[in-house]
Structure 1
């Protein structure tokens, strides 16, 4: 029944972005696209006929088993899985997959057909964005709480000095100091509000 997928296999066989594979009921690769072999077969051979787990992070084998069971339980539906695959350099890439069970003419299960692509760059970018957002939130907290407190004290002290002083020159200086610190306080509030967005 793999031939039922031949149009899409032919279309995606030379894709640089997408992988197409089929896993038989024996848990071995029954079909692998060139791009999949190119990215995950590191002995210059093919993954065809090898156990599907050879490319996976060991912790992700159970994800495949669970999603495979879903596929057989709901024929005709696609199920998604995010899986880590060996990168050939001791690390892993993150891949996103959609899977569907396929059956023979008598309705007996033959395997799982899968189409996937590498999302490592997306995951890395998302992680950097999350980290940047966290840092902005920290900066906002520091500005809002740690910087504004002593600034508020300066504003209060300059107001007290201005009220208590009989010296017009000192009072004028305190008013200028209050105006400048109030302006700085508003700038800090504006920055803090932007980091919270």
Structure 2
């Protein structure tokens, strides 16, 4: 318990970490000032209150399962992600490390928990995943455009160029020759434009 007391004293006035201890009766036996301040709207004095009053009901099972692991493995810490009431009808997301506490007689005495708010990180990660998904969708669309430009649109352009070449070999008056030359230039420009688009989507 000595090490836990040292950690408690070190982080009593932390502006970042939450530190709590839940006794074997499932009630708070200690909360640091940061935790008390963050969730003071629920209770002015957390000590003696049930540990679950600050959390999403569905996350109680996470706490119970993690605590069991701690007592089964007393030399190890175990992580838990818990949603906590934000006082506005929603939840913040917190990340914790749990560790079993034993008294001088080596009997289970509670669970030591240290955590912090990861809400902004989680939201940023969610936004990143959405952005990645949108990028993948746009990439797929660009690839489809490139394929259509290369295979669907280029075919009639090639046909136009071929027909113009046939016309150029025919006996045409000057007016028709000028038109064929303009058609050739336009078809070549269109073909180059298609090639440029295809290269950009590769």
TM-score, with normalisation over the residues of structure 1?
Answer: 0.90
1:171 has 2:178 as partner = no
CA contact (8 A) 1:159 1:175 kept: no
Separation of aligned partners in 2, 1:43 and 1:179: 69
Aligned match of 1:144: 143
How many aligned positions are there? 187
CA contact (8 A) 2:147 2:198 kept: no
Aligned match of 2:15: 16
TM superposition outliers: structure 1 runs of 4+ over 3 Å: none
**For each residue in 1:110-148, what CA deviation from the matched residue of structure 2 results, as whole angstroms up to 9, or x when unmatched?**
000000000000000000000011111111111212x23
Separation of aligned partners in 2, 1:155 and 1:41: 69
**For each residue in 1:74-99, what CA deviation from the matched residue of structure 2 results, as whole angstroms up to 9, or x when unmatched?**
00200000000111111110000001
Aligned match of 2:199: 186
CA root-mean-square deviation: 1.4
CA contact (8 A) 2:67 2:100 kept: yes
Aligned match of 1:161: 160
| Stretch deviating more after TM superposition (35-44 or 21-30) | 35-44
TM-score, with normalisation over the residues of structure 2?
Answer: 0.88
Runs of 5+ unmatched residues, structure 2: 168-179
| Matched residue SS, 2:18 | strand
Q: Compute the displacement of 1:43 (Å).
A: 4.7
Q: Compute the displacement of 1:40 (Å).
A: 1.4
Separation of aligned partners in 2, 1:43 and 1:53: 11
Separation of aligned partners in 2, 1:32 and 1:178: 72
Runs of 5+ unmatched residues, structure 1: 190-197
Q: Compute the displacement of 1:149 (Å).
A: 4.7
Separation of aligned partners in 2, 1:40 and 1:113: 18
| Stretch deviating more after TM superposition (173-182 or 29-38) | 173-182
Q: Compute the displacement of 1:63 (Å).
A: 0.4
CA contact (8 A) 1:29 1:51 kept: yes
| Matched residue SS, 1:90 | coil
Aligned match of 2:120: 121
| Matched residue SS, 1:47 | coil
Whose radius of gyration is greater, 1 or 2? Answer: 2
| Matched residue SS, 2:161 | helix
